Amino acid sequence: MALSSWKELPIGTIITKPGSAREFKTGDWRSQRPIWDPEKCIHCLICFIYCPDSSIKVNSEGKMTGIDLDYCKGCGICEEECPKQAIHMEIEKR
Ligand code: SF4
Ligand code: SF4
């Protein structure tokens, strides 16, 4: 079943095929979006560890490079856990 969005899933359906979650971009679930301030970031990657949606982007040198808004659901855990207040949440504007 090739779907372009989770919204096309029939009601009651769950992801049953291993490794297929990436096919379903869940970013449009968000009511708030995280805003990252690279000037404050010390690249400790605590946000990477805590993010339940693997949405913190990290390069090959182990530095945070941003947030993948295709999958971030806006839970705010990264804002809560960041020791440098380098992430804050804003109301999502659509
Ligand atoms: S937790 Fe904060 S300081 Fe650490 S990598 Fe994430 S944004 Fe940067
Ligand atoms: S708001 Fe939640 S899902 Fe989005 S990057 Fe932060 S921890 Fe991850």
- Spatial contact of 72 and 30, defined as CB atoms under 8 Å apart: yes
Over residues 43-90, the pLDDT tens digits come to 999 999 999 999 999 999 999 999 999 999 999 999 999 999 999 999
What pLDDT band is residue 20 in, cutting at 50, 70 and 90? confident
Nearest-atom number in ligand 2 for the CA of 53 is 3
Answer with the residue of higher pLDDT: 64 or 14. 64
Could you tell me the domains of the chain? Answer: 23-91 (3.30.70.20)
pLDDT at res. 25? 81
Q: What is the pTM of this model?
A: 0.83
Q: What are phi and psi of 47, to 5 degrees?
A: -60, -40
Distance 30 CA to ligand 2 centre (A): 10
Distance 20 CA to ligand 1 centre (A): 28
Nearest-atom number in ligand 2 for the CA of 89 is 1
C-beta of 64 in contact with ligand 2 (< 6 A): no
